[in-house]
Structure 1
Amino acid sequence: MHKEPIIGIDLGTTNSCAAIVEDSGNVKLIPYKGGEYTIPSIFAIDDKGNELIGYEAKRQWQLNPRNTVYGSKRLVGRGFGSEVVDTMKQVVAYNMRPGKQSDVILDVGKKEFALQEISAKILGKIREVASNYLKMPIKRAVVTVPAYFNDRQRQSVKDAGKLIDLEVVRIINEPTAAALAYGVGKGLKEKVVIYDLGGGTFDVSIIEIRDRVFEVKATGGDVFLGGIDFDNAIIHHVLKDFAAKTGLDLATDPVAMQRIKDLAERTKIDLSAREEVPFNIPFITMTSQGQPLNIEMKFSRKMLEQLTNQLVDRTLQMVARVLVDSGLSTKDVDEVMLVGGQTRMPIVQDRLTKFFGKPPSKGVHPDEAVAIGAALYAHSLQDDTNLRIQLLDVIPMAIGLEKAGGAFHTVFPRNASIPNAKQLLATTSMDNQTELAVRIFQGDNELVARNDMLGEFTFSGIQPGRAGAAQVEITFDVNVEGILTMRARDPASGREMKTTVRVSNA
């Protein structure tokens, strides 16, 4: 082994895993005890105050739902007031509240945690498993994120690494990592669609592979669409059915909800292989007279497809948009790759087969491709590597400024290639103005209010003069990881100021 290997980490919404390229050049998933390769992305504190991560956290989830955190990747880099947080509040048992910068704080077992800290705990667990397996300390990693993560969400993954002294050498997009797992070392010349429907997020990227060059043509997605939503469709149906039969609402009982959640996920998985399965939970609750009540129903694959049809539709609308953005037609696509556990659902494969006129490829393992691609990329960054990979990626949504009247001025359009830099000249709008405030947003809406604010940038010390007399030269720089840095310069005085857009508020 090298002195200091860089591992690849797939930090998933529901499960995480890691991989490494061995000296022989083989890529190996790092096994967890018991032979599993994935670790549930779950953090909990038990009643004795012990911190549990992964399987240990998952095992006690039913009995301790309020102090068990799952799906937290969906909340990363989000403001407390956002729609995403509102939706999550309705389905999780753990408590969320606004932090000082209107970010999200979680209360778990009498302690409070920022979301980066939860991500850091899961990263720490993966590192510990990898260190034990490789029998050496791990200090560096390439970590993947959904292609549709914005600047703030990417920044928070880097921050999570800092909290545990893990250097996140590079952040790469999950679909791009999957394309690496499929294409490295095969001398391909292909255009591939990566359809990545995981536990919490959906991404689709169109990538042109030219041997060792992987060029992303266009990307799109929804960081609020994934397997959890398919589970929730089953859960809502069960709750509605039970309330209709008994007049009782189980949604307020966290332990009952946890039992329903567990069975919903199992039922969804079973229906990928079978046409019908029973959905039975004994003694789910009591009547007011103390009579035990059971849930007894059947679930068919047809029912599940009806309940989740609009979720599958949403993914295909995004596929269509990304094709248009890339300038390609379905005929130009050589292969469609499926990534993420939710792509095992037969209807997803059927609909994609109809859409592209050919069945999806079995060229990558849906649960392992992202970690393998991250490890290959990590290996290509090492000093003594003979593997050179060139990644040409894009930003998932436009980055721009607020113009007068709340309009959005685009600096980088969506799917602009990265790394990328642009320069703008800004002028003062009032007489004797000595400060210039610039507010930066990311999103695809023409109104800034509909986009995510990345931060505010104030350049002071401008020479007072007439409105429009002073000019400030602003340089925007998006690096290979999709993270934005800004520099402002006053040509009159030569003063310069630089910042990575730090978020002041959400």
Structure 2
Amino acid sequence: MHKEPIIGIDLGTTNSCAAIVEDSGNVKLIPYKGGEYTIPSIFAIDDKGNELIGFEAKRQWQLNPRNTVYGSKRLVGVNYSSEVVGTMKKAVAYNMRAGTKNDVTLDVGKKEFSLQEISAKILGKIRDVASNYLKTPIKRAVVTVPAYFNDRQRQSVKDAGKLIDLEVVRIINEPTAAALAYGVGKTLKEKVVIYDLGGGTFDVSIIEIRDRVFEVKATGGDVFLGGIDFDNAIIHHVLKDFAAKTGIDLATDPVAMQRIKDLAERTKIDLSAREEVPFNIPFITMTAQGQPLNIEMKFTRKMLEQLTNQLVDRTLQMVARVLVDSGLSTKDIDEVMLVGGQTRMPVVQDRLTKFFGKPPSKGVHPDEAVAIGAALYAHSLEDNTNLRIQLLDVIPMAIGLERGDGGFHVVFPRNASIPNAKQLLATTSIDNQTELAMRIYQGDHDTVARNDLLGEFTFSGIMPAKAGTVNVEIIFDVSVEGILTMRAKDPATGREMKTTVRVTQS
């Protein structure tokens, strides 16, 4: 008897989705009650202390904005001191503060939660929906992450699975999963661009498909660019317009903000099909004299395009960079795939058509491709599978160590293929030194201060001797999931040294 199935999970910033390959070989999205295939990635605690996840959390969001957590994927594995946190604080009503490891802790309904716990709640909900639908317990999953997630963010997703006893068998990149959804079973020989603009993150990957081999040539992205930012551009415009007309700043009123947020998202979606839509919210607030005030405006598609122009520009600059990294020109690209709900915006499609000289392909469903690809990959890992897929992926940004002058010594360059291992020979710098400490960073900048600190590795058990006479061989190993492990040995004796890793936070 084979083990219970492995499902594929797309753990998204705004919506999540799961899929499975059935015994017949067909891929099936796992439906939620009411026939929906996606579950909002929202967690809340209501005034009675009940935990709500998904649609239940979304339904009460307007009335309970302070205890409703959304967009939390943007904070996973992030330092509390980073810019991302400052930007998020302005945009959300829930409270965040520094955790013990200078990570982010959220206060929700008189309790505190780490980001891993929030991710675990959402993963748990998806697993329960899948278990109920498949009538079998689900204990293993392939979970997708943005290609541009760093080592710590990837590790956080694995840890979230551990919290609920869900074995994350493999983490794969979202654009790579979408390429699998497009290419598996088609015996293709193509170079494709996956342009993935989701709710909270943007990725672009160039992938060469040779039948069942999916080789990522280059990848890039921005984990702080997505549909939420297009909504925020509308919200910002509405607040400015209302303040100019009435002198009232609605940004300090969480319930008013929530009503504006909801309508902003609806307006953005409507403008993909229409040229103009009304933006009306009755009784948004009161004057000092107790007169009710309404928001009454019109939005045109042109206005939305002007407000979000620089967001689309940022994605295309990244597409250009990734093309250069891959050594390919636009003429070498056979297909451009669109993934993520925000790619439904007509201007995104127009700009890509101009950039590549041909319209994007309709070969994958923008909301479902990532979960489908994850399920196909999960199926290829099963014991009794007849599907063999070879994934050759890359790391999204360089990994290296701090040099004495604060410079960045690159061990693995950006777009280095994974799995990958490198050896470095280090030596002691003071007499009778018995420990060697190294700070490891990941990022695209020349100075470590601008990159993310992954941790501080201390190797102990070095033979005490004169400075420079003892060598230590350090092996850096990046797994197929883009996660780094390190070990050190004494080349003279071949003895492995003890490593302690402090994921120190800057």
Distance 1:498 1:433, change over 3 A: closer
Q: Is the 8 A contact 1:440 1:453 kept in 2?
A: yes
SS at match of 2:336: strand
- Paired with 2:126 and 2:499, the residues of 1 have a C-alpha distance of 31
Distance 1:400 1:121, change over 3 A: same
Q: Which residue of 2 aligns with 1:398?
A: 398
- Paired with 2:502 and 2:479, the residues of 1 have a C-alpha distance of 15
Displacement of 1:135 in angstroms is 0.3
Distance 1:200 1:499, change over 3 A: farther
Q: Describe the superposition over 1:283-319 as per-residue Cα deviations: whole angstroms up to 9, x where unpaired.
A: 1011111111110000000000000000000000000
Displacement of 1:504 in angstroms is 2.8
Matched pairs, number: 506
Q: Which residue of 1 aligns with 2:453?
A: 453
Displacement of 1:471 in angstroms is 1.1
Distance 1:502 1:275, change over 3 A: farther
- Paired with 1:469 and 1:222, the residues of 2 have a C-alpha distance of 44
Displacement of 1:468 in angstroms is 1.3
Q: Is the 8 A contact 2:235 2:260 kept in 1?
A: yes
Displacement of 1:462 in angstroms is 1.6
Distance 1:130 1:123, change over 3 A: same
Distance 1:498 1:14, change over 3 A: farther
Q: Which residue of 1 aligns with 2:36?
A: 36
Q: Is the 8 A contact 1:201 1:223 kept in 2?
A: yes
Distance 1:313 1:443, change over 3 A: same
Distance 1:501 1:414, change over 3 A: farther
Displacement of 1:80 in angstroms is 0.3
Percent pairwise identity: 90
TM-score of the pair, normalised by structure 1: 0.99
Q: Describe the superposition over 1:144-201 as per-residue Cα deviations: whole angstroms up to 9, x where unpaired.
A: 0000000000000000000000000000000000000000000000000000000000
Displacement of 1:405 in angstroms is 0.8
Distance 1:496 1:321, change over 3 A: same
Q: Is the 8 A contact 2:460 2:497 kept in 1?
A: no
SS at match of 2:459: strand
Distance 1:495 1:67, change over 3 A: same
Q: Is the 8 A contact 1:485 1:501 kept in 2?
A: no
- Paired with 2:273 and 2:68, the residues of 1 have a C-alpha distance of 30
Q: Describe the superposition over 1:342-375 as per-residue Cα deviations: whole angstroms up to 9, x where unpaired.
A: 0000000000000000000000000000000000
Q: Is the 8 A contact 2:453 2:504 kept in 1?
A: no
SS at match of 2:116: helix
Displacement of 1:491 in angstroms is 2.5
- Paired with 2:179 and 2:501, the residues of 1 have a C-alpha distance of 30
Root mean square deviation, CA, Å: 1.1
Q: Is the 8 A contact 1:177 1:373 kept in 2?
A: yes
Q: Is the 8 A contact 1:2 1:23 kept in 2?
A: no
Q: Is the 8 A contact 2:67 2:108 kept in 1?
A: yes
SS at match of 1:363: coil
SS at match of 1:187: coil
Q: Is the 8 A contact 1:484 1:501 kept in 2?
A: no
SS at match of 1:33: coil
What residue ranges of structure 1 are gaps of 5+ in the alignment? none
Q: Is the 8 A contact 1:105 1:112 kept in 2?
A: yes
Displacement of 1:277 in angstroms is 0.4
What residue ranges of structure 2 are gaps of 5+ in the alignment? none
Displacement of 1:2 in angstroms is 5.2
Distance 1:316 1:369, change over 3 A: same
Distance 1:500 1:197, change over 3 A: farther
Bigger Cα displacement from structure 2, 1-10 vs 186-195? 1-10
Displacement of 1:261 in angstroms is 0.3
Displacement of 1:501 in angstroms is 5.7
Bigger Cα displacement from structure 2, 192-201 vs 2-11? 2-11
- Paired with 2:234 and 2:331, the residues of 1 have a C-alpha distance of 36
Q: Is the 8 A contact 1:9 1:142 kept in 2?
A: yes
Displacement of 1:490 in angstroms is 2.0
Distance 1:498 1:4, change over 3 A: farther
Bigger Cα displacement from structure 2, 424-433 vs 115-124? 424-433
Q: Is the 8 A contact 2:401 2:408 kept in 1?
A: yes
Q: Describe the superposition over 1:200-253 as per-residue Cα deviations: whole angstroms up to 9, x where unpaired.
A: 000000000000000000000000000000000000000000000111100000
TM-score of the pair, normalised by structure 2: 0.99
Displacement of 1:459 in angstroms is 1.0
Q: Which residue of 2 aligns with 1:363?
A: 363
Q: Describe the superposition over 1:428-453 as per-residue Cα deviations: whole angstroms up to 9, x where unpaired.
A: 12222221100000001000000000
1:46 to 2:46 alignment: yes
